[in-house]
Chain A
Amino acid sequence: MELTREEESALKGEQGEIMQMAYRILLATGEATDADKLIPIEWAHLSGVNYNTIGDAGEEFLSGISKNARVKVKTTLNPMGFDIDNVSNYGLDDNFISKQLSIRKSYETMGVTPSFSCIPYEIFDMPKEGTQVSFAESNAAIHANSFDNLKTNKESSFSALASAITGKSPYSSLRKEDSPNITIRMKVDNPNELTYGMLGFFAGKVGNNSVNISGVGEMDRRSCKALCGGMGTSGTCAKFLFGDGDPGCEKVDFDKKEMNEIHDELNTAEKGDLITLGSPQLGLEEISDLTGKLKGRSFKKRCMIFCPRTVKEQARKIGYTNELERAGCEILADCCTCLTPLISKDNIDSVTTNSIKGAYYLKNSNGVDVNLKSLSQIIKDETR
């Protein structure tokens, strides 16, 4: 990768340790993506916020760099571990809470907007078509490239952080006009969001940088998010395009057989002790839809709903929150099903969810069994 004189000087450490670290990360990112230069980006979205995932090493690292590091562009933030409004209901220890608040403080000191959301594409105004951004949070990077006409790598926590501090990112193929060399033919009839989550999980396993997907009709927002969440979990793939692609593309079918294999891999329980909705977090549209579906019904067991704080506040004003709480839902802002410390195998054996991404991490990180069901099936089976 060609660096300008100023970038070389930063890499040598002449602009301080923080800049040197950031450029070392950008250099590794550039080499990994075969980029030939750095280009400006306008927005960075950071992951690595939840104390449950980054631990003491991450907390200390952020605390250390926050003394000197400042972000150069608009920078937003992924979910953390809890909702401060109701954290006392969930038995988290004081150490977790104080470490999480320290992480929050470090990011705020660096000038980051504390949005605590994995769906930046749903709660912020979108920049104009073709804008270069750096989104960590895999579902958001895929959504940005595939639905929002933005351009980003499937950034890591550190490459997005380095982009936030420098305002730059390597000019990789995903930032240009990338054309996939593989087409996935969707063959499953009557898909719901769970099917799309599994399709995404499959696509992530077979694709590299990007994939074409053919045979899908109109998708609602829930299904789009499920597709992005699934794909981000299983692979390195950062973009999908709808259509058959070039005639020379390798063709791979996603039929019942492929779907059942993924279902068997992630579905390990016949029923759940509780229900979680929101991985990715629910937006206002989904909250509104859910409120409608729950009219006159109540959950027979606990149901945790994860959303951004701005969505929780809007939902309260419109009156959705009252309705959802009446139906037995617990509404949590600032956090997410994915990697939540609020569900522990010490008191829960299994969780019902419609999220493939949530299922993967509940199983592997939280160590609980997962029962996969679509939202409509959850409403049918788990409410009265």
Chain B
Amino acid sequence: MKILVQGKTQGIILKSQHPINFLGTVDKKTGIISDKNHELFDKSIKDKILVFPNGVGSSVGAYTIYSIKSNNAAPLAMVCHKADLTVATGCALANIPLVIIDDEEFSSLQTGQKISLDTESFNPIAFL
């Protein structure tokens, strides 16, 4: 596991098997996914532990992450399979904990599970 932004939180997982382009597909006021082709269409990422492979597309997606945090519509934490700069820097500026996990850990996380995330802990992800 790689820790990109430190922090501690707990909450319910919302998982996407597909990457997310934050710009244009995540509403910056509500945190709701607007891309009809995306598996999380119409779902809100607000106050969830958002698990997804990685961010893609526009560099401005970092501002979207900062905006949803400012508008109290951000996930509690993000967990990715692959690091990308849009998500890494958006979370760094917005202070949203972000960790990168391997294949096996990524497969073990499912929507609806309650977990705690503590980047200071020996086992940062624990099922509750």
Contacts and interface: CB of A to CB of B under 8 A. Distances in A.
Interface of A: 21, 24-25, 27-29, 31-33, 47-48, 50, 53-58, 60-61, 136-138, 141, 153-160, 162, 204, 208, 232-236, 265, 339, 360-361, 364-365, 367
A54 B63 CA distance: 6
A25 B24 contact: no
Nearest to B66: A57
A156 B90 contact: yes
B85 interface: yes
A339 B23 contact: yes
Given A28-B88, A31-B83, A32-B84, A158 B56 contact: no
A153 B85 contact: yes
Contact of B56 (A25, A53, A155, A235): A235
Nearest 3 Cβ contacts at the A-B interface: A365-B24, A32-B83, A28-B92
A53 B25 contact: no
B34 A364 contact: yes
A24 B94 CA distance: 11
B46 to A, nearest CB: 15
A174 to B, nearest CB: 10
B111 to A, nearest CB: 22
A18 to B, nearest CB: 12
Nearest to B37: A265
A29 B88 contact: yes
B60 A27 contact: no
B57 interface: yes
Contacts of B60: 47-48, 50, 53-54, 136, 157, 339
A158 B34 contact: no
Nearest to A46: B59
Contacts of B63: 48, 53-55, 57-58, 157-158
Contacts of A156: 59, 61-62, 85-86, 88-90
Chain B, interface size category, equals 35 or more
Interface of B: 2-5, 19, 21, 23-25, 28-29, 34-35, 37, 54-64, 66-67, 69-71, 82-86, 88-93, 98, 100
A158 B62 CA distance: 7
Nearest to B62: A156
Given A138-B57, A236-B56, A159 B85 contact: yes
Contacts of A360: 24, 57
B66 A58 contact: yes
A251 to B, nearest CB: 22
Contacts of A56: 67, 70
A31 B67 contact: no
Contacts of A159: 62, 85, 88-89
A158 B67 CA distance: 13
A147 B63 CA distance: 28
A136 B84 CA distance: 13
Given A53-B60, A159-B85, A234-B56, A31 B2 contact: yes
A276 to B, nearest CB: 16
25 contacts: A24-B92, A25-B92, A27-B92, A28-B88, A28-B89, A31-B83, A31-B88, A32-B4, A32-B88, A47-B59, A50-B60, A54-B63, A55-B63, A55-B67, A58-B63, A58-B66, A155-B59, A156-B89, A158-B62, A158-B89, A234-B21, A234-B57, A236-B84, A361-B23, A365-B24
